[in-house]
A and B are shown apart, each in its own frame.
Chain A
């Protein structure tokens, strides 16, 4: 991959559910090492966009290029691509029938067929980084929401993905837990991880993002540097959206 090729490129992506257009021709470029934050009101298609990037939704038109490779192609195996695209969901979804360690190691060992000792070492190091090294033998039910979400992030990271997608990962957490999860993401950003983040945490978005994408009604209304977006939004829709936050 040459330096010029973006890691992820979305062109004219259209997503419809039964003739209802959810995403209406989205263009998006994610360069390696960049953090893109997608903002917008509920129902604007943020999560759907993220899910399209991971093949969890089929799209009706447009293309998605990952490291220059076209993904919208019947010959492409999403199962392979997904190993390079880590995704974390709002509902954490740790597997309840497995311990923390089993959750984290499932992908590396069963999917990537990596050496157990090597994967274990990496898993432990990652758990250490999110301050959960002592919980490796616990079951998900024994953990708090914030802990579960941090484990879910570790689980995705342990696959050594090229890019991480975060879908409203703090939406069901209380403020303290939000903090602990966001810290982990900030840490990742500082290490140069490429990320696409959907969130409602405006302050977090402002500090972590290299670029803000503001989505409304299936269209990109505004895109730009976070300082520009928050201080000087160009469109009325974005102004209205940001005004609601002031109270």
Chain B
């Protein structure tokens, strides 16, 4: 297979731009997802029924609709109701909306994995509910959730490719544009794969390192 190397080198600046945009959108999306996840998982642990039902409704809605449709709603639907949000913000909101539910579920599993006896002991010492969550529940829950949270980060990063549906020039959309213009399909797709690997490989390594670190610090194995 003959690859047009000079073409590929010429496109590096465009890919670099797309790569940076992808990282930026993913970063904000994942950060917001995690915050939503923390809040929602604590609400689910709490006993306030109304709030729990709202969170449950959000989770079902978010997990059972495709990201592309969520983005279409934000990008094409909301302006019809008079709310216009620029594309990049739509992307971040969409990713956070999707990721929030996955993060919630990952953390919920972690919270459920904290032994009841730990919670009873904390109560016996006289900790209030908020202290219990802060000092006992969350530190232990996050630790056992780290693998699932990491998997979610990787999943959400790959979901950024859907942003091509709302005219954001991230890696996938850039590649589609270039293929349309120059018909250098093989070269463009190779660059695309390399682009994702540049982000995802270090991220995977970082996450498995973090997993080992946290497990050891917390449970000693």
The reply to whether A93 and B117 form a contact with Cβ atoms under 8 Å apart is: yes
Question: For the complex, what is the distance from the CA of A147 to the CA of B127, rounded to whole Å?
Answer: 23
A141: CB under 8 A from chain B?
yes
A219: CB under 8 A from chain B?
no
Select the stretch in A30-38, A82-90, A201-209 that faces chain B: A82-90
A141 surroundings in chain B (CB, below 8 A): 219-220
22 chain-A/chain-B pairs, Cβ below 8 angstroms: A82-B125, A85-B124, A87-B121, A89-B117, A89-B121, A91-B117, A93-B118, A95-B122, A96-B218, A97-B136, A97-B140, A97-B217, A97-B218, A106-B125, A106-B127, A106-B135, A110-B131, A111-B126, A111-B128, A111-B131, A112-B126, A142-B220
CB distance from B144 to the nearest CB of A (A): 11
Counting from the closest, the 8 A-B pairs by CB-CB distance are A141-B220, A83-B126, A93-B121, A107-B125, A87-B124, A111-B126, A82-B126, A97-B139
Q: Which residues does B use to contact A, with CB under 8 Å? A: 115, 117-118, 120-128, 131, 135-136, 139-140, 143, 217-220
Question: For the complex, what is the distance from the CA of A156 to the CA of B123, rounded to whole Å?
Answer: 12
The reply to whether B219 and A110 form a contact with Cβ atoms under 8 Å apart is: no
Interface size class of A (residues with CB under 8 A): 20 to 34
CB distance from A46 to the nearest CB of B (A): 16
A223: CB under 8 A from chain B?
no
B124 surroundings in chain A (CB, below 8 A): 54, 56, 82, 85-87, 89, 156
Instruction: For the A-B complex with A112-B126, A159-B126 known, give 17 more contacts whose Cβ atoms are closer than 8 Å.
Output: A56-B123, A56-B124, A79-B128, A83-B125, A83-B126, A87-B121, A87-B124, A89-B117, A89-B124, A93-B115, A93-B117, A93-B121, A95-B136, A95-B140, A96-B220, A98-B135, A139-B220
